[in-house]
Structure 1
Amino acid sequence: MAKVIKTAACQFPVSADISANLDWMISFIQQAGEKDCDVVHFPECCLSGYASVDFKTWKNFDWDLLHDSAERVAQAAKENNIYVIYGTSRQNETGDKPYNSLIVIDKAGNTVSVYDKCFCTPKGIAFYQPGTQFVKYEINGIVCSSLICYDLRFPEVYRKLKSMGVECIFQSFYNARQRKASVHTDIMRQTMQCRAATNYFWVSMTNSSAPISPYPSAFIRPDGKIAAQLQFDTPGMMINKIDTSLEFYDASGPYRQTAMNGRLNNA
């Protein structure tokens, strides 16, 4: 029996203005709900804004407003009968730096997964505490996981998730507000294509559309092909289907487990 997730990947100009971010999100949640999508997926830190780029210090950060806004996102998920996957900053119970997190809200408005970014950039680690645990959860019977931006630089992470039985990755990015074009245009989507193809993952990747953003949100099949993508520096939503009944080219498939078991030849 086919397992299908109808996804809506959304991008908008994420900023330090939590209320403005929330307005974008609520609008897209409603639009995705009207299209009978199962999941709406947003970028990294899309609700809170991204520390080090959108704001330079946690001093006077409005945590109460962020908390209230997160409750409104959960309510919108329930009202529109849709999963919401979104990025935000999350206070650390130990009093250390906050986490850079990806939250999964189910159709009833409940939090079903919280992933704290395990690999923070050298710049980002001054503002965020790295997480230590990977996550998996099911949507419509498909095993999914969440990752964030810089995680893609570490192929070991994806092998770990493959060993956990993950079939689909929702990965949120924040590469935006750059002063000029960068090499990320030529390497980030391409690296994500590699992660998809070498592990046979479906991938939804979302990015902020604030200019200059070096790449747009994209939807990638398990063979690594970009099946759809949004426009550069432009807010938008695209709808795609993850369908596990479809079969794609999987070059490493016959020997992937052999390599994962530590034998690096197929003699």
Structure 2
Amino acid sequence: MTLRIATTQPAGSADARENGRKARELMRHAAAADVRLIQFPEGFLSGYAKEQIADWSDVDWTAVRDELRGVAELAAELGMWVVLGSAHPLTPPHRPHNSLYVISDQGRLVDRYDKRFCSNTEITGFYSPGFAPVVFDVDGYRFGCAICVEVNFPQLFAEYEHLGVDCLLLSAWPVDRVFFLKAQAHAAINSYWLSLSVPAQSADLMSSAVIGPDGSHLASADAATELAVVTLDRGAPEFHMALDLARPWRAAAAQGDIYRSRRVEDPRSADRTCI
């Protein structure tokens, strides 16, 4: 069983109408490559705070909602799942969430991931935090969601491994090159695919990419198409070690029984000052 996914690297803007148009353009390109799920960068639809958005009153929320509906309608037409970054407005005076909308291939908004670990600037001036992980299944593959600075919180990535994800979708607006290495490390440590979506404005730092469950760099977004397309295949021989051996062994090791059952009672073990 395999699954085609695409991650994108479009230029973000403060114009929700243009962002929605661009999202649909890339969805159509991905459909031509038989993609079942497409991912967009952090804050893409609404515009990202600190970069395009200085004040939430500047956002045309009617346009954001209209474009979200337009993306959902095209998702149903194409039979494609969409994970779309956007601010999600709350009831005033509460600040928006920094979110990933999960839209099914039936055009339904089935879930929303709200960024849990916001940066200091985000939490003090722009966003309200979320508090729950989000997982969803597409054609037998389980996906989880994370956003940008959360790459610095390994417990989130371990949590998704415990929740059984096959692929972690990380949408971001990175500010340094080491971000990519951190993403690779999370994929390798947790033995799952990791799809990274960043805006074109980050091209000098990195490309949007898909990373294998062994930490290998599988594909980067092409500058012309703004897409990276990869087929997820749990049966691929190159991932046998990571998926069939390393992942179950690490889960057993983390549980600890294999160590507790081999614990020894020995004075030379108990005394950590002996030579």
* TM value normalised by structure 1: 0.88
Residue 203 of structure 1, CA deviation: 1.0
Deviations along 1:51-90, one digit per CA (max 9) or x if unpaired, are 1111211124211111111101101111211111110010
Matches for 1:53-202 after TM superposition, within 5 Å: 53-93=51-91, 95-125=93-123, 126-175=125-174, 184-185=176-177, 187-202=178-193
CA distance in 1, matches of 2:251, 2:105: 35
Matches for 1:227-242 after TM superposition, within 5 Å: 227-230=218-221, 236-242=226-232
Residue 163 of structure 1, CA deviation: 1.1
Q: Are the equivalent residues in 2 in contact too, given 1:209–1:235 (CA < 8 A)?
A: no
CA distance in 2, matches of 1:262, 1:107: 40
Residues 94 and 136 of structure 1: is their aligned pair in 2 closer, same or farther, counting only changes over 3 Å? farther
Q: Which amino acid aligns with 1:69?
A: E
Q: Are the equivalent residues in 2 in contact too, given 1:114–1:135 (CA < 8 A)?
A: yes
Q: Which amino acid aligns with 2:250?
A: R
Q: Please provide the CA RMSD for this pair.
A: 2.2
Match for residue 9 of structure 1? 7
Residue 134 of structure 1, CA deviation: 0.3
Residues 159 and 54 of structure 1: is their aligned pair in 2 closer, same or farther, counting only changes over 3 Å? same
Deviations along 1:73-127, one digit per CA (max 9) or x if unpaired, are 1011112111111100101247411000001111110112210011111122220
CA distance in 2, matches of 1:219, 1:161: 17
Q: Which amino acid aligns with 1:41?
A: Q
Residues 263 and 56 of structure 1: is their aligned pair in 2 closer, same or farther, counting only changes over 3 Å? farther
Which structure dedicates a bigger proportion of its chain to helix?
2
Q: Which amino acid aligns with 1:139?
A: V
Residue 252 of structure 1, CA deviation: 4.9
Q: Which amino acid aligns with 1:161?
A: Y
Residue 253 of structure 1, CA deviation: 3.6
3-state DSSP of counterpart to 2:41: coil
Deviations along 1:9-45, one digit per CA (max 9) or x if unpaired, are 1111101111111121110011111222101111111
Residues 58 and 243 of structure 1: is their aligned pair in 2 closer, same or farther, counting only changes over 3 Å? same
1:261 to 243, 255, 262: 255
Q: Are the equivalent residues in 2 in contact too, given 1:86–1:103 (CA < 8 A)?
A: yes
- Unpaired segments ≥5 residues, structure 1: 176-181
Residue 205 of structure 1, CA deviation: 0.6
Q: Are the equivalent residues in 2 in contact too, given 1:12–1:235 (CA < 8 A)?
A: no
3-state DSSP of counterpart to 2:79: coil
Q: Are the equivalent residues in 2 in contact too, given 1:46–1:87 (CA < 8 A)?
A: yes
3-state DSSP of counterpart to 1:59: helix
Deviations along 1:217-256, one digit per CA (max 9) or x if unpaired, are 0110000001111257x76112111111124233854642
CA distance in 1, matches of 2:154, 2:72: 32
Q: Are the equivalent residues in 1 in contact too, given 2:173–2:202 (CA < 8 A)?
A: no
Q: Are the equivalent residues in 1 in contact too, given 2:53–2:59 (CA < 8 A)?
A: no
Residue 257 of structure 1, CA deviation: 2.1
Match for residue 25 of structure 2? 27
Residue 260 of structure 1, CA deviation: 3.2
Q: Greater CA radius of gyration, 1 or 2? A: 2
Q: Are the equivalent residues in 2 in contact too, given 1:97–1:127 (CA < 8 A)?
A: yes
- Unpaired segments ≥5 residues, structure 2: 263-275
Match for residue 211 of structure 2? 220
Match for residue 244 of structure 1? 234
